[in-house]
Chain A
C-alpha cells in the first residue's frame, strides 16, 4: 500500500452560522472575508504539516487546486509544490491539479511540472483534472468544452514531455508550430500520472485505457467500490487486469486514543468540511455540458431529483465509510476490511480537514503513521508485472 497524505489547506475561519447566511463557500463568498495575515500563518502551518509527512514515513504528499473558495487555499498548486520541492528530500509530491481546461496554455503546465520534476529529481506525480463545476463559473471557461479541452491538453502535455521537439501540434483548441519544451522531465517516460475524479463514466474509461491510477475523492465506500469495479471491468476490455496500484481512495481519517476521543476531538472539524466548505448550489457542481451524456443519466438516477446535496450526519458518514474515525485498532480494522473489499493500493488519507487545528492534525498524523500505516503496508501490493504508467 502506498500512502499519500492529502491536504486541502482549508480556510478555517467561517462563522458558525455561515451556511445559513451564505449561498455558497465557492465563487460568491466575498474575499473581503479573507485575512491575508491569518493566511500567512495558515500557509506556513499547513506547509509544516505537509513537510512533517516526510519525517513520519509517508510515501508522498498531495497538493490540490480550487479557485475562489474558502474550501482550499491552493489555486496555484504548482507554487505549493515548488515550496515543498526543496524542503523535502524523499517523498513524492502529487499535484492534484492541474486543472488543465482552465489554463490558457497547456504548455505552461508542461513546463512547470517538468521544472518541478527536474528540481526534485523525479519526485513529482502529475495529476490531471478538469476542476469542479464551480471553477467554470470562477474562470468563465465554457463547461461544454471542458472534457475535450482536458483531453487535448493532456495529449499535448504528454507529447511535449515524451517526443523530441520541435514538433507541430494541430489540435482543435491548440495549434502550435513549435512544441519544444525545455526542460524535459527527469522521470521516464514522463512523471507518473494520477487522475483524481468523481468517477464519471467517461473519465474511468479514459483513465483505465491509459492505465492512469484513478483516485476517488470522498464518497460513501459502496460507491467507491462500484467505481473501482467499473475501472477493473474497463481495464479488462482494454485487455489487462487492473491491479491495486491503479486504484486510490481519498478519505478523511482521524485516529485518537479511543473511539470516544476521536469523535470528541474532531467531529465538529470534519462537519465543518462537509457542511460549510462544501456548501454550494448544485448548479456549481454540474454546469451545463460539464457532465458527459453517459454520466448524466446515472447522476440523475443517483441524485434523484433532489434540489440540494444530501445531508449526512456524522454517524451516517462513519457507517458508510465516507470518513473513518476511531482508535488505532478500529481504524486499522476498518481500512483492512475496506481494502479487502475494494482492492485499492493507494490510500490518500486526509488527516487535516475542515477546521482541525494544528496540534490535533499533528497528533492525528503521528498516530496514523505509527499505529495504522505499518499494519496496512503489506496490503494492496501491485501485481508482479505492474509498472507505473
Chain B
C-alpha cells in the first residue's frame, strides 16, 4: 500500500479546492468521474513516477467545496482554467474518466491552446441519437457499483456491507453535484459534438469494451468529431478501467502521454 501524498487545499477564485500532487516532470492533470477521486491507488502512484501528477477533487466532490453558482459543466471548465493559472501551468496533459473525460473535452474545446495531450477514458459528454444511458440516479448503491464492472466478482468486493454515515453523505454529495451538471440532459452536452473540431491536441480514447454505463458505441462520435483521435479498447473491462484493468490502462496512457516527448 502506497502512502498518499498529503492533501492540499487551494483557494481557486474563492473555491476551496482539495488536491493531491506527486512527481516531477510534465504535468498531468487527472480528472475524476462521478464517483470522486477515490483513494490514492497504485495506478496513480505509477503515473506519478512519470509525471507531475495532479489529482484534484472537482468543486462539489470529495473534499472540495460546492459553490452555489456551480450549475453546468461550463462552470467546471472555468474553475480548471483558474486552477491551472494558479498553479502556473500554461499547458497540460489531461486524462479524464467518465464525467471527468467529458470535462477534459470541454476544456480542450474552450481553450485548445491549454491542452498538450488529451486522454478520454470511457467519457460521458456526447449522446448517440436515441440512446438513453442507464439512469444511475434511480439505482441503489449496489446497482451503481455493479454496472461499473465487467467482472461481477470484482464488483462484489467493492460493495461496502455497511457504509459509515460519512461515506453515505460523501456519496450523496458527489451524486448531487453530478445531478447538478448532468441530470437533464443526462450526462451530455448537446452542443459539444459540433464543437469537437476545435480540439487541437492529439487525443486518445480508452474504452472498456464491456462498458454498460457508457457503451463503447459512443466512441464513434468522438472519433468522428476530434481531428486527431484514436481508440484503444480494453477487453474484459467495464466503465472504470482504472479499477478493473489498471495495468492495461496505465500502459496505454503512459505510451500516449510520452509519445513525442
Contacts and interface: CB of A to CB of B under 8 A. Distances in A.
B138 A142 contact: no
Given A300-B169, A305-B163, A305-B168, A141 B184 contact: yes
B138 A281 contact: yes
B128 interface: no
A143 B179 CA distance: 8
A288 B175 contact: yes
Contacts of B179: 142-144, 287-289
A143 B183 contact: yes
Contacts of B175: 288
A349 to B, nearest CB: 33
A144 B66 CA distance: 13
A289 B138 contact: no
B157 interface: no
B172 A137 contact: no
7 contacts: A140-B183, A141-B184, A142-B180, A144-B176, A287-B138, A287-B179, A297-B169
Contacts of B137: 137, 283, 287-288
Contact of A142 (B139, B165, B169, B184): B184
A283 B139 contact: yes
B140 A144 contact: no
Contacts of B138: 27, 137, 281, 283-284, 287
Interface of B: 135, 137-140, 142, 162-163, 165, 168-169, 172, 175-176, 178-180, 183-184
Contacts of A289: 176, 179-180
Interface of A: 27, 137, 140-144, 281-284, 287-289, 296-297, 300-301, 305, 307
Contacts of B169: 296-297, 300
A78 B169 CA distance: 38
Contacts of A140: 183-184
A144 B182 CA distance: 11
A113 B210 CA distance: 52
Given A296-B172, A305-B168, 5 more contacts: A281-B140, A282-B140, A297-B165, A301-B165, A305-B162
Task: Give 7 closest A-B pairs by Cβ, nearest first.
Answer: A288-B179, A288-B175, A288-B176, A142-B183, A289-B176, A140-B184, A144-B180
Contacts of A282: 140
A288 B172 contact: yes
Nearest to B175: A288
A284 B135 CA distance: 12
A296 B179 CA distance: 16
Contact of B168 (A141, A142, A144, A300): A300
A152 to B, nearest CB: 14
A243 to B, nearest CB: 36
Contacts of B184: 140-142
Nearest to B138: A283
Given A296-B169, A300-B168, A301-B165, A288 B140 contact: no
